[in-house]
């Protein structure tokens, strides 16, 4: 690691964040669809959905947050693809800076921009009646899970950005990730699903993450869900990170 790695990384982070701040429509776009979905499900479908709770927005919010993050990380792939396409990566590699600083700049930008989106969505949920009895430790645990989830998907996005052949390809990979919460307990309990769909829903990462966040926000017993959620997030994060860094080094060679 370059002795000036953290200084180089902060410069790259500042560069990426300036791009975000100059086009706030990026964050607004990420927020609008999940918020519209939350409004639709709460005020149109909510009365017909048997979730086992009196306040459907409390049940729905964890899944909406994951959808927002899955949507937001597509911009990481897009921006990384543009840097590759325009020769920015090679240009930075010709300078005396840490080679991985550019990659980390994009990853941390994704973390910060998605954090802003999550806060905006939670504020809207509060206006819609969301209430939580969680204490500070539970909220910190929720934040930790969301950070790990964001980092894991962001490194997956980095892989897509490095290997994509077009702008559309760099962004389109996130569509299955956005769709995944629909086949989970994010909107309805898995008990209401057909057996084959239920088996998939109960054994995919989104369900355990949603259940862990939902239990933490309602001060309910978390059980094994939090450990399964952490295992999924950390496992995906490690595999995606190693693959992305290796691919990045090959592209830079």
Residue 127 has pLDDT above 90, yes or no: yes
- Give 25-40 pLDDT, tens digit per residue: 667 777 888 999 999 9
Burial class (CB in 10 A: 0-12, 13-18, 19+), 35: buried
Identify the pLDDT of residue 111.
92
CB 245 within 8 A of CB 100: yes
- Give 191-247 pLDDT, tens digit per residue: 888 999 999 999 999 999 999 999 999 988 888 889 999 999 999 999 999 998 888
Q: What are phi and psi of 73, to 5 degrees?
A: -70, -15
- Cα(10)–Cα(30) distance, rounded to whole angstroms? 24
pTM, two decimals, is 0.89
- Give 97-123 pLDDT, tens digit per residue: 777 788 888 899 889 989 999 999 999
- Cα(147)–Cα(103) distance, rounded to whole angstroms? 17
How much is the mean pLDDT over the chain? 86
Identify the pLDDT of residue 3.
56
| Token output for 8 | 């180089």
Cα dist from 127 to 38, 146, 224, whole Å: 12, 22, 31
Identify the pLDDT of residue 47.
67
Burial class (CB in 10 A: 0-12, 13-18, 19+), 129: exposed
- Cα(145)–Cα(11) distance, rounded to whole angstroms? 27
């Amino acid at each position: 690691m370059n002795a000036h790695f953290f200084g180089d990384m902060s410069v790259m982070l500042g560069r990426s964040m300036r791009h975000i701040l100059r086009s706030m429509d990026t964050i607004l776009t990420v927020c609008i669809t999940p918020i519209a979905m939350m409004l639709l499900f709460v005020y149109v479908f909510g009365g017909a959905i048997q979730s086992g709770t009196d306040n459907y927005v409390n049940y729905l919010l964890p899944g909406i947050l994951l959808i927002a993050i899955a949507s937001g990380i597509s911009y990481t792939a897009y921006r990384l693809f543009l840097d590759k396409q325009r020769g920015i990566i090679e240009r930075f590699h010709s300078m005396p800076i840490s080679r991985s600083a550019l990659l980390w700049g994009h990853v941390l930008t994704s973390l910060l921009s998605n954090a802003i989106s999550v806060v905006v969505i939670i504020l809207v949920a509060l206006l819609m009646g969301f209430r939580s009895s969680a204490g500070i430790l539970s909220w910190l645990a929720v934040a930790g899970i969301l950070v790990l989830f964001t980092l894991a998907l962001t490194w997956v996005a980095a892989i897509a950005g490095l290997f994509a052949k077009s702008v559309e390809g760099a962004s389109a990979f996130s569509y299955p990730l956005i769709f995944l919460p629909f086949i989970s307990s994010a909107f309805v309990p898995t008990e209401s699903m057909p057996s084959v769909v239920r088996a998939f829903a109960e054994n995919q990462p989104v369900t355990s993450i949603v259940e862990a966040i939902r239990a933490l926000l309602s001060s309910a017993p978390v059980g094994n869900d939090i450990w399964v959620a952490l295992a999924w997030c950390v496992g995906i994060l490690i595999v995606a990170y190693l693959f992305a860094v290796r691919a990045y080094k090959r592209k830079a060679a």
